[in-house]
Amino acid sequence: IWANSLGSQIAEVQKGNLEATENFLVKIFGESIKNHGDWSDKTTVQSETELKYYTLESHTFTDEKDCLTGSYLRIRDVTREQQEVKKGIYEATHDRLTGLYTREYLYQSISEISQSFHERQYLIVFVDIKNFKIVNDVFGNKFGDYALQCIADWVRRDMSEYCRYGRLVGDTFGICVPESEFSPKEREKELSNFIIRKDNTTYQLLIHLGIYRVAPEDNDVSVMFDRAHLALSTIQDEYKTHIAYYNKEIREKILWNQNISSQLGEAIRTRAVRPYLQPIADRDGHIVGAEALARWIHPEHGFMSPALFIPVFEKNGMIAEVDKHIWRCACEVLSEWQKENRNLFISVNISPKDFYFIDVIAEIKSLVKEFQIPPEILRIEITETVMMTEAENRMQILEDFRRAGFIVEMDDFGSGYSSLNMLKDMPVDVLKIDMKFLGKTDDKDRAETIVKNIIRLSEELGISALTEGVETKEQYQTLSQMGCSLFQGYYFAKPLPVEEFEKLL
C-alpha cells in the first residue's frame, strides 16, 4: 500500500505485501497520474510460483480551487479470495467423483453453444452402464467408484474444444459432440470389450449409447437427452449392439403412447374400453364361463388390437385403471346373469402392476359386495410374473382370495421356466395350460406326453386343468382324452362382445 504527492517519488512500499515487478509498479503509477481521477481495475501478475490476482483503486485529492494536489493508489492482493471463488465455482459445476461437469452445468454449457447447431451437426449421447448395481453389490462401492472414474476418463478422452460432457446422475453420462468427431464403429469396438481392472478384480462392463441427432431448431437440452435416452429402449436387452439412434419410429411410438394414455379416462367413461368375453367350455362342449378381455373401440381408429394399448398401460401403470374397469363390467354382467339364473363364471385378469397402484383384494371384494354376486363366479386369473416380486406377500393375497371364496387360476402355465416350482407353492384352483406349448417343438409326441402328465399331476393335486388356445376339433378331442376338463380357444369362439357371447348360450 502506498501513497504519493503529485510529481513526487513513491513514498513507501511495504515489502512482502506486493510481489510485483518494477515494470508493473511503474505501469500502475503511470495509469494513476494519467487518469487524474478516481478509478478501479483488476489485474494479474505471473510470479515465479503462481498467478497472482490484484484489485486496484485510485483516488485523487484537490484543493479549494479544485486543483489536483495528490493521488492515492491502493493495490490489494486478492489471490486467496480468487482461489476460493474458483474452488467454489468448480465444486458447484463439477462432479466430485469424476471431475466431469454436473448435469446442470452440462445442460448450461450445451445451451451456450447452441448457436453452433446451425454451423455443424451435433450429437447428444446418453451413456448408460447396464446393471451397474451388480458391480457395487458384488465388488463393493470402492470398485464401483473406480469403474465410474474409468468411464469418465473414456468419456473425456479425445474430446475437442467443441465437445461438452458430464455425469448426469448415478451411472449415466452425457456428451454433446460434433458428428464429424464421433465414430460409431470405433465406439462399438471399444464398448464390445470394456474391461475394468483393479488389484485382483476384473469385470467387463456393458455400456449402451443412446444418440440423438440435434436439429438446428432444438434448444431444450433436457428434451434432447430424453430422446437420446429413449433410443436405448431399442437395445435394452442387447449384448452385441451398444449404440442406438433416436429415429422417427421411436418418436411416433412416443406420440402414440402419449395420445392413447391421455384418452384412456374418456374411453373408460364412455365404455369405449369394454370387456370381450371368450367362451370356456367343458368336455361336453357346453359353455360354462368366459374370460373377460379388454378391448377398445376407438372413435377414430375403430377396433384396436390390445397389443396397441395393453403394453403401453402395463409400462406406465395405467393398466390398473383398465383392470378396475373390466372387473366392474364383469361384475355387472354376472349380476345380470344371476338374475336370469345363468350359472356361468367370468375370469378376470390381474396384472402385476395392479398391486403397486391399488389394493387388489379390497377392490374386488368391494365389487362383489356391491353387485351382490357369489365370489366363486368371479374367478381371479394371475400369471407367473405376478409372483416374481414380493412372492410371500402375493402368496398371502392369493390365500386371502381363496378364503374369501374366490377361485384362483394360474394363466399361461408351461410358457415360463419356473412353473413347476410355482405349482408346488402357489395356492391355485385352476391350471391354464397354453396350447402354444405344443406348437413350440417338432417332437409332437413328446410334447403331448408332457401335457398329459401335467393334466394328471394337476388332478392329483386337486387342481382343475383348463387348456387355452384350442383351435381344432382334433385338439379338443385329444385333450379330452388326456383328462382335461375345461377348454378355451378359437375352436369354440373368439373373444366376443357381451351381446354376441350371450347369443351362444
pLDDT of 19 reads 46
- Please tell me the total count of domains within the chain: 3
Q: Is residue 47, in this structure, part of any structural domain at all?
A: yes
Question: What tens digit of pLDDT does each residue of 301-349 get?
Answer: 999 999 999 999 998 999 999 999 999 999 999 999 999 999 999 999 9
Residue 96 contacts residue 80 (beta carbons within 8 Å):
no
Same domain, yes or no: 29 and 124: no
Q: Is residue 258, in this structure, part of any structural domain at all?
A: no
d(CA 294, CA 320): 12
Same domain, yes or no: 234 and 342: no
Q: Is residue 418, in this structure, part of any structural domain at all?
A: yes
Question: What tens digit of pLDDT does each residue of 357-409 get?
Answer: 999 999 999 999 999 999 999 999 998 777 766 777 888 889 999 999 999 99
Long-range contacts of 334-340 (CB under 8 A, 24+ apart): 334/371, 334/373, 334/377, 334/378, 335/371, 335/372, 335/373, 338/373, 338/377
Cell of 396: 398371502
Long-range contacts of 501-504 (CB under 8 A, 24+ apart): 501/276, 501/277, 501/279, 501/290, 504/279, 504/287
Closest residue by Cα to residue 227 from 339, 125, 108, 356: 125
Active site residues: 468
Q: From residue 81, how far is each of 1, 25, 54, 84, 380 by CA, in Å?
A: 18, 22, 10, 5, 70
pLDDT of 16 reads 37
Helix (H, G, I), strand (E, B) or coil at 170: coil
Same domain, yes or no: 132 and 52: no
Q: Is residue 395, in this structure, part of any structural domain at all?
A: yes
Closest residue by Cα to residue 348 from 372, 332, 370: 332
Q: Is residue 37, in this structure, part of any structural domain at all?
A: yes
Q: Is residue 253, in this structure, part of any structural domain at all?
A: no
CATH code assigned at 20: 3.30.450
Last-in-domain residue among 246, 275, 294 = 246
CATH code assigned at 277: 3.20.20.450
pLDDT of 1 reads 36
Same domain, yes or no: 430 and 464: yes
| List of the chain residues with pLDDT < 70 | 1-37, 388-389, 414-422, 437-442
Helix (H) or strand (E) holding 223: helix 221-231
Q: Is residue 159, in this structure, part of any structural domain at all?
A: yes
Same domain, yes or no: 283 and 415: yes
Same domain, yes or no: 73 and 139: no
pLDDT of 79 reads 86
pLDDT of 417 reads 53
Q: 481 lies in which domain range? A: 267-503
Same domain, yes or no: 124 and 49: no
Residue 426 contacts residue 396 (beta carbons within 8 Å):
no
| pTM for this entry | 0.71
Same domain, yes or no: 237 and 98: yes
d(CA 266, CA 272): 8
Cell of 75: 493495490
Same domain, yes or no: 473 and 407: yes
Q: From residue 341, how far is each of 280, 335, 495 by CA, in Å?
A: 18, 10, 23
Helix (H, G, I), strand (E, B) or coil at 185: helix
Q: Is residue 15, in this structure, part of any structural domain at all?
A: yes
Same domain, yes or no: 298 and 423: yes
Same domain, yes or no: 271 and 229: no
Q: Is 4 exposed, middle or buried (0-12, 13-18, 19+ CB in 10 A)?
A: middle
Q: Hey, which residues does 468 pair with through a beta bridge?
A: 434, 488
Pairing of strands 430-434, 464-468: parallel
Largest CA distance in the chain: 125
